[in-house]
Structures are given as C-alpha cells and as structure tokens.
C-alpha cells in the first residue's frame, strides 16, 4: 500500500468522524478500520479533528433548528417537546460540559441524538466541540489499546 492509500484512509476517517457527529447513528469506533492502512495514532488524531468539526457543526445546526417557527410551536404546544427540552436544559445547567464528556465516553454508544439534544439547549459551542472530540479521542485510544492487546497474543 502506498502513501495515497494512507491519505485516502485518513480522509475517509475524517469524513466518517464528521458524519457520526452530524448524521450517522453509529459508533465512532468503526473508524479504527482505517488503522489497517494508516498508523493508529494518525487515524485517532484525524478522527478527533473530524469529531470536533462535526460537533461544532451540530451545535450551530441545533441552534438554528430550535429557532425554527415549527420547532418553537412544537416546544410550546406539546408535552413531549417540553419534557425533552426541560430534561436537556436541567441536565446541561446542572452538570455542564464535563457531563457531556462523560456521557460520550461510553464505548459503542451512538451519540448523535444526545449531541443534538445537548446542542439545542447548550450555549458554549467551543466547549461543546472540545468535550465531544476529547471524549472521542479517549474512546478511540482505549479501543485501539484493547485491539492491540488482544492481537498481541
């Protein structure tokens, strides 16, 4: 495999990490398949950057969505909407960004929905993106270490 294969694998790892933050309800750990072609540390670094970019995008999408007239009507008129957003707001106000970090540390957890809910009630986009990407980096490092230990023999 040549250097172009490594670059392609890292580019796809970045796109997948952005996708898991924005639309793909799948675990981030699947990105480690790129470690067959590229160095695992590079895959984790690129996936962390992708997760940060995707998380930042999710924050602004969530902020825009919550301002849509249909969503505001839904929030006001449905018990379900009031209940979900009240829980999210209480959780964010009480525990903040560290709680998001801890929630996103759960291996294999498809966290796209949780990220959208927290983005809709949060107020700090950079802290949100740092928590999501930091948790992703820790998760990926632990899983990669587990894979390495399991294959050593």
| Per-residue burial over 77-88, b = 16 or more CB atoms within 10 Å of its CB, e = otherwise | eeeeeeeebeeb
First to last CA, the chain: 25
Q: What residue segments make up the domains of the chain, in order of their start? A: 3-151
What is the pTM for the complete model shown?
0.81
pLDDT (tens digit per residue) in 6-63: 999 999 999 999 998 888 777 888 899 999 999 999 999 999 999 999 988 888 887 7
pLDDT, tens digit (0-9, with 9 covering 90-100), for 98-142: 877 887 887 766 677 667 767 766 677 888 888 888 988 999 999
Task: Give which of 31, 75, 66 is closest to 51, Cα–Cα.
Answer: 31
CB 43 within 8 A of CB 35: yes
Rounded mean pLDDT of 88-105?
A: 78
């Amino acid at each position: 495999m040549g250097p172009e294969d490594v670059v392609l694998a890292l580019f796809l790892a970045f796109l997948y990490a952005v996708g898991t933050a924005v639309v793909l309800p799948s675990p981030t750990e699947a990105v480690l398949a790129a470690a067959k072609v590229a160095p695992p540390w590079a895959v984790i670094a690129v996936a962390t950057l992708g997760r940060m970019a995707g998380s930042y995008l999710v924050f602004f999408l969530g902020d825009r969505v919550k301002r849509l007239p249909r969503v505001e009507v839904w929030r006001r008129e449905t018990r379900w909407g009031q209940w979900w957003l009240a829980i999210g707001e209480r959780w964010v106000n009480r525990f903040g960004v560290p709680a998001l970090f801890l929630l996103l540390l759960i291996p294999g957890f498809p966290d796209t929905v949780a990220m959208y809910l927290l983005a809709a009630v949060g107020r700090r986009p950079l802290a949100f993106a740092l928590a999501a990407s930091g948790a992703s980096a820790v998760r990926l490092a632990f899983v990669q270490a587990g894979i390495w230990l399991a294959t050593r023999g």
